[in-house]
Structure 1
Amino acid sequence: MDEAELLCYAAIALLAKKKRKKRSMWTKEWLQKRNHYSHTNLLEELRLFPRDWFNYLRMTEVVYLNLLKLVTPMIEKRSTNMRESISPHERLSATLRFLATGRNYEDLKYSTLISPQALGRIIPETCAAILDALKDYYKFPQDEQDWLDIARGFEQRWNFPHCLGATDGKHVAIKPPPGAGSYFRNYKGFDSQVLLGIANSNYEFIYFSYGINGRVSDGGVFQYSDIYRKLHEKTLKLPNPSEVNGCVLPYVFIGDEAFSLTPEFMKPFRQNLLNVERRVYNYRLSRARRIIENVFGILVNRFKVLESKIIVDIENNKPIVLACCALHNYLRRVTPSTYSPPESYGVEDISTGEITTGLQTRDDMSLQHNRRGNINQTASHIRNLFVDYFNNAGQVPWQERFI
């Protein structure tokens, strides 16, 4: 390196030093009084009022303490001579409050007494720890028996045989990165990324993924997912078609009009193609598919961060959204009646034909409906098999009240 280059680097270093703003203090004095004024002290008071505790963190104290035990090894930090570390209890409670309310970091600092900069690191890290700690609560089916168990649940509870899961997707509003243009702009006119979910008959996710930009529509989100790839590579270990009440039916996933009709994926008939038999099929499919709509309704109702725009760096969106899905399964499993009481679900009155939908998400969160296109003839044949089954061997006595 010659003398001219040395002088150039020295000048750049001097300019950078001049531009660096001198810190007037290490941290604001009131933020140092976290032990006295933070929301962890409020939580101590809320222990006497279980319902208020639940509303604050979206779970009971017992469930919270168990979750804290699971994530502590992953989020615990050492104190130094310079400062005391933020405890796992403070980290987890701040994260759950963020998920429950959707408040931004600047607002959250006043109740947690943690700086927005620190919250910007703590919350995504804790969400990633939650996702890892709860992995046993959202296991993807591993073999044919797992799929058969799911299908049995749909047949017993919702009268839809050979159903492997109800599928839907929701747009989650985001703050796009600089220079993104219309890359994340969805058909409703706001920037989003899509959360794709598949639920079993017990309102639990068996699969969820997040991150496809909101511009992708017409069921293309499903085609970008790893489950779609495995489906077409025949690596999901799905059961072979088998007989139900004298009819041989394949095993399928179900969804609404946003998805494409394939041999492995059933959807409703369009309104202009309906007759009485197809109306019965649409009703029976809709009856089972409402599961995933209720799942998303419960999820958004409990974790308000998914209801409004997530204003964080886009690389941190994924652990935040997926942690909500993992927490949903966890809470459905350990405290179902508290987390999702009966009014959360859709209910049918089979004597009158009236349907109460339960918790639902807003219309602007839904995927765009699929446009007309060429219909796969094999898929059309399979759909007609289900039409025939629901109108004959598999009919239920009350179905005509709902068509």
Structure 2
Amino acid sequence: MDSADEEELLFLNASIAFIQQRRKPRLWVRNFFKKRETHGVCSSLYNDLVIHDAVGFKNTLRMSPEDLEILLQKVSPKITKHDTNFRQAISPKDQLLVTLRYLATGDTYTALMLISRISKTKISVFVPEVCKAIVQVLADYVKMPTTADGWEEVAQNFKIKWNLPHCIGHLDGRHIEMIRPKNGNDYINYRKNYSIVLLGLVDANYNFLYVDVGTPGKISDSEVFNNSNLCRSLQNLPQPKPLPGRTQPSPYVIIADDAFALSKHLLKPYSYYQVNGHAEKMFNYRLNRSRVVVENAFGILSARFKVLRQSILVSPTKASTIVLACVYLHNFLRKSERSVYLYTPPGSLDEMNPVSGEISLGTWRDKNQGMILLQMGPSLDCPEGVAVREEFKAFFMT
């Protein structure tokens, strides 16, 4: 080897050594995320509240520590991830706490990243997964009756609490705004926003008996109902029987508003131009008085889960799962003796005075609920539905 070759080889070796010296080792996990266990709000704040401030814990999460632990135990098998040689998996507790904060506040994934020290990429992946797990493990908390006796029990609760016999629920819906999806024109609602429809049937205790989520916002509200499992399940209702003090058999009915068409099993108030006297006004008053249950259910839902107040920045399928998780959590907390008064404190819901019949308004109405109402409009009322409404009007006048 001559001197020129030796010099070239020495230069090459020196260059390689210089490059290796300057090259920084690749970080599989950023230092910011490494401090999640000690500085992340999920671990530090959660632990501080549990140990030092039980009242603050309840006011922050609107549920008891016991119910949070029950929920964590239910979803953990479905969302547990395994550590790798390069990264530590996000614990089920952290996944659940971040998801609950997202549903409660509607924070962006970037904002959640900064307080949880979990990357927004991971958050965007596990939030829909946790919501899906919540819906699966709480499936029994949103369920329609499947027998005539079950519907009869629902009707009895309306009769006792709201003095409204033969009522099996109040029906309403909202548009949930979202970003423009594929086939975006199908999702444009009457207010020119992109949305999916949330349709819900509510019982006398402000709980959801049935929900249908995900229909494109362009579809009419009556069409959503007519194509729903709820409409098909009306075949299992109790047989018609006379209203108290009447002789004409009357079917069991769902109460709705002008967004839906009058039918045999769907009752709605008289429209403005149909009110001709005291009888129609009394009918409307009795129906509208009991409709506070569905107004309260949707109002509390959006007051507690602020993600529903803004445009959801995911696909329609994931948005539907997020909305369903909110509904199932609503029923879970409403039916829990430990959390019901944390989720809906005394005075937050509308209540009817059993003596005077007057309604005292709940504090949830002080907050803008944000969700878009269904569109009111003319609809074709079937003759059978008209006859049922006339019978209820005669009953209210007795």
- Which band: TM-score by shorter chain? 0.7 to 0.9
Report the TM-score, using the length of structure 1 for normalisation: 0.85
Whether contact under 8 Å (1:347, 1:358) holds in the other structure is no
Deviation beyond 6 Å, 4+ runs, structure 1 = none
The one of 273, 278, 281 aligned to 2:280: 278
Question: CA 1:210–1:101 in structure 2 vs 1: closer, same or farther (change >3 Å)?
Answer: same
The answer to whether structure 1 residue 242 and structure 2 residue 246 are counterparts is no
- 364, 378, 381: which one aligns with 2:384: 378
Matched with 2:120 is: 116
Distance in 1 separating the partners of 2:198 and 2:357: 35
Q: Deviations over 1:89-144 (max 9, x none)?
A: 10111110110100111111011111111111111111111111111211221211
CA contact (8 A) 1:165 1:254 kept: yes
- CA deviation vs aligned residue, 1:15-44 (integer Å, no higher than 9, x gap): xxxxxxxx9643322112211211121111
Gaps of 5+ in 2: 1-24
- Whole-Å separation in 2 of the counterparts to 1:65 and 1:352: 40
* Residue 296 (structure 1) aligned to one of 295, 298, 303: 298
Matched, 1:95 2:99: yes
Q: Which residue of 220, 245, 264 corresponds with 1:217?
A: 220
Query: How far apart, CA to CA, are the structure 1 residues paired with 2:370 and 2:77?
Result: 40
> 2:58, 2:67 → 1: CA distance?
10
> 2:159, 2:166 within 8 Å by CA — same for their partners in 1?
yes
Aligned-partner residue type, residue 359 of structure 1: W
1:159 aligns with 2:163: yes
Q: Tell me, yes or no, if the aligned pair for 1:175 and 1:312 is still in contact at 8 Å.
A: yes
Q: Which segment drifts farther, 373-382 or 346-355?
A: 346-355
Q: 385, 389, 395: which one pairs with 2:395?
A: 389
Instruction: Give the match's secondary structure for 1:219.
Output: helix
Counterpart for residue 37 of structure 1: 39
Which residue number corresponds to residue 3 of structure 1?
A: none
Is 1:264 matched with 2:271? no
Q: Give the whole-Å Cα distance in 2 for the aligned partners of 1:181 and 1:123.
A: 24
- Mapping of 1:3-402 within 5 angstroms? 25-39=27-41, 40-47=43-50, 48-178=52-182, 180-231=183-234, 234=235, 237-247=236-246, 248-274=249-275, 275-334=277-336, 335-348=339-352, 356=361, 359-360=364-365, 362=369, 365-371=372-378, 373-392=379-398
Deviation at 1:384, TM superposition (A): 0.4
Give the number of the structure whose alpha-carbon radius of gyration is greater. 2
Secondary structure, aligned partner of 2:326: helix
Q: State the secondary structure of the residue aligned to 2:291.
A: helix
- Contact 2:350-2:359 at 8 Å conserved across structures: no
Alpha-carbon contact 1:102-1:303 (below 8 Å) kept: yes
Partner of 1:399: none
Alignment TM-score, normalising by the size of structure 2 = 0.86
Give me the whole-angstrom Cα distance separating, in 2, the residues matched to 1:50 and 1:80.
36
Q: CA deviation at 1:86?
A: 0.8
Separation of aligned partners in 2, 1:71 and 1:385? 48
Question: What amino acid maps onto 1:44 in structure 2?
Answer: N
Conservation of the 8 A alpha-carbon contact between 2:28 and 2:87: no
Q: Which secondary structure state, in structure 1, belongs to the residue aligned with residue 213 of structure 2?
A: strand
Residues 344/377 of structure 1: CA separation in 2 closer, same or farther (3 Å cut):
same
Residue by residue over 1:287-329, the C-alpha shift from the partner in whole angstroms, topping out at 9 and shown as x without a partner, is 2221011001111111111111111233211111101000000
In structure 1, distance between residues paired with 2:175 and 2:160: 31
> C-alpha displacement at 1:343, in angstroms?
2.1
Letter in 2 for 1:193: I
SS of match in other structure, 2:58: helix
Aligned partners of 1:74 and 1:37: how far apart in 2?
A: 26
* 2:4 counterpart residue number: none
Give the 3 Å change call, closer, same or farther, for CA 364–333 of structure 1 in structure 2.
Answer: closer
Three-state SS of the structure 1 residue aligned to 2:335 is: helix
Q: Residue type matched to 1:293 in 2? A: E
Change beyond 3 A, Cα 1:342–1:211: same
CA contact 2:261–2:380 (8 Å) conserved in 1: no
CA drift at 1:54: 2.8
Name the count of aligned residue pairs: 364
- Assess if the C-alpha contact under 8 Å between 2:213 and 2:320 holds in 1: yes
- Change over 3 Å in CA distance of 1:357–1:41 after alignment to 2: closer
